[in-house]
Structure 1
Amino acid sequence: MRVTMNGYSLAVEDGGQGTPVLLLHGFPISSAAFSPIRAFIEEVGRLVTVDLRGFGASDAPPGPYDMDSLADDVVRIADHLGLERFVLGGHSMGGYVAFRVAANHRHRLSGLILIDTRAAADTAEGVERRRAAVATIAGGGRDAFLGAFLPLLVSPATQDRQPEVMELLRAIAAGIPNHVLTGCLEGMMTRPDSRGLLAGLDLPALVVHGADDAVMPLDEARALALALPRGQLVEVPDAGHTPTLEQPQLVGEAIARLLAEQL
């Protein structure tokens, strides 16, 4: 399915029945990151996944790629599908987008799923890393950037035992235009701090985090779960920053339990 808005269209997949769950992928991936967990969720609810603007099968307009603009797309998709309230989930950058939806449309959310993401804004060091990445890509170093960054998205165990996961990540990233990569890097480094929202998000909230995440330490996920009034943490063993691809059964079953027991 394609949803058209403001002169561009986004690729959306919608399946299952029951409580609607809308999942947002991370950077630089696509909704293909959720394909291995789709069956688990659709057994108990309705799963909607979207390729954010510039990713996967969606159009890649010139911009903007800030988190609020991506969040606006998400709300338009929910409106198009008639989803008055829904569980919103986000992986990594998708979590940043989810927090912007929560900031501006809290009344639309019935639950949260936060996968290897954080509520805090970038540190000064993080901003400088993203600026350096933008400069590298703009200077013709796209392959060097992706070659260094993509291995950080999975655990060493995954790289050893599931080489097909790295192959998939490389294939997805290969299709993302440079202006989308740099636009999202700039959007992430200028995003607001969302920690002030957490105490007011009194709804079922599942925090899923790879135990071996090299991008965001597990301690951050523990703090995030504690800061949410109804936060629940699931630590995923032998997984890094992308547990939906690395340990799909564990992640899929955890989300299915949330839907069956709390929603």
Structure 2
Amino acid sequence: MSLKSVRGISIGYDEYGSGFPLVLLHGHPFNRSMWQDQKETLQSICRVITPDLRGYGETTIVPGKTTMEEFAGDLAALLDDLGIDRIILGGLSMGGQIVFEFYRQFPERVHALLLADTQPQVDTEEARAARYVTAERILNEGMQDFAEELLPKLLAKGTMASQPDVVSSVRHMIVKTKPEGAAAALRGRAERRDYTPLLREIAVPTLIIVGSEDEFTPIQDAELMNRGIAGSQIAIIEGVGHMPNMERPDEFNAVLRQFLLPIVSSR
């Protein structure tokens, strides 16, 4: 694990391999360890960088509210410090929404995109209110009970029944997340802009991946992005939920590798 001090915070990140940079952004309430299988598989073809987002993992917690704009700014500053100009950028769930924000601010820095189990549209009023309620709840109660409620929504029934190691890894990430960081992200996410109009402006190769049993960002959201982003590719991984990269890593990695190979080989 490496650390960089930028924008008044310390960002923890891992870096594997060499070649064209691929940056992967984790979701909420996780950390960079969710990309372990991807780092091991893809480091042979590119330089894989996995940061902990502000408030998560080894990165500084800033209580209050963390907006998508702040997350994207943190990433830009980290890349500047590493001397990296252009990247392939991917994210899952909240990480995917940060991908949208980064592309909105810095399109010239993006060579290709991965959008995994995410959505561009804003929350409904009900969902927005629930984020604020959840923020207060985890601050008052901690992450343990929240983790147990969240797991069967994050992971497919088959994963819950037959992959105890995956269940344990996801649980561990959630309970190790500091409530102050998670609550700040929840508040910022509730106030995020609508990225749907951005879809038609995306002009780089884009891969969209979604689990067939994803309760949070269902197939319809992936199809919306696929229709909106010209030339994008979509892959539906059967029998998994919101975390296909952990539930079915071999299949996820094969799809991602097939997408990446012609891009990195042309560099």
TM-score range, shorter chain: over 0.9
Structure 1: stretches of 5+ with no match in the other structure: none
Q: Distance in 2 between matches of 1:142 and 1:165?
A: 18
CA drift of 1:141 comes to 6.0
Q: 1:97 to 1:79 in 2, by over 3 A?
A: same
- Aligned ranges 1:109-120 → 2 under 5 Å: 109-120=110-121
Alignment map for 1:197-216 (pairs within 5 Å): 197-216=198-217
Q: 1:200-252: per-residue Cα shift (whole Å, max 9, x none)? A: 11110000111111111111111211211121001111210011110111111
2:262 is aligned to 261
Aligned-partner Cα distance in 2 for 1:143–1:39: 29
- Could you report, residue by residue, the CA deviation over 1:100-159 in whole angstroms, capped at 9, with x for unpaired residues? 101110110000000100111111121122122123224436433332123211111111
SS of 2:141's equivalent? coil
Q: Identify which range, 247-256 or 101-110, moves more after superposition.
A: 247-256
Query: Is 1:31 matched up with 2:44?
Result: no
Residues paired across the two proteins, number = 263
C-alpha deviation, 1:79, in angstroms: 1.1
- What residue number does 1:94 align with? 95
CA displacement, residues 80-108 of structure 1 (integer Å, 9 cap, x when unaligned): 12211111101000011111101110110
Checking the alignment, whether the CA contact within 8 Å between 1:36 and 1:245 is kept in structure 2 is yes
2:22/2:88 contact within 8 Å kept: yes
**What TM-score, normalized by structure 2, do the two folds share?**
0.94
State the distance in 1 between where 2:109 and 2:235 align. 24
Task: Give the whole-Å Cα distance in 1 for the aligned partners of 2:38 and 2:162.
Answer: 19
* Percent identical: 28
CA RMSD of aligned residues (A): 1.5
1:128-167 alignment runs, 5 A limit = 128-140=129-141, 142-167=143-168
Residues 1-263 of structure 1 mapped to structure 2, 5 A cutoff: 1-140=2-141, 142-263=143-264
2-structure distance, mates of 1:69, 1:160:
38
Q: Which structure 1 residue ranges, 4+ long, deviate > 4 Å from structure 2?
A: none
> Take 1:109 and 1:167, find their aligned partners in 2: how far apart are those partners?
34
Distance, in Å, in 1 between the alignment partners of 2:80 and 2:221 is 33
Query: TM-score under structure 1 normalisation?
Result: 0.95
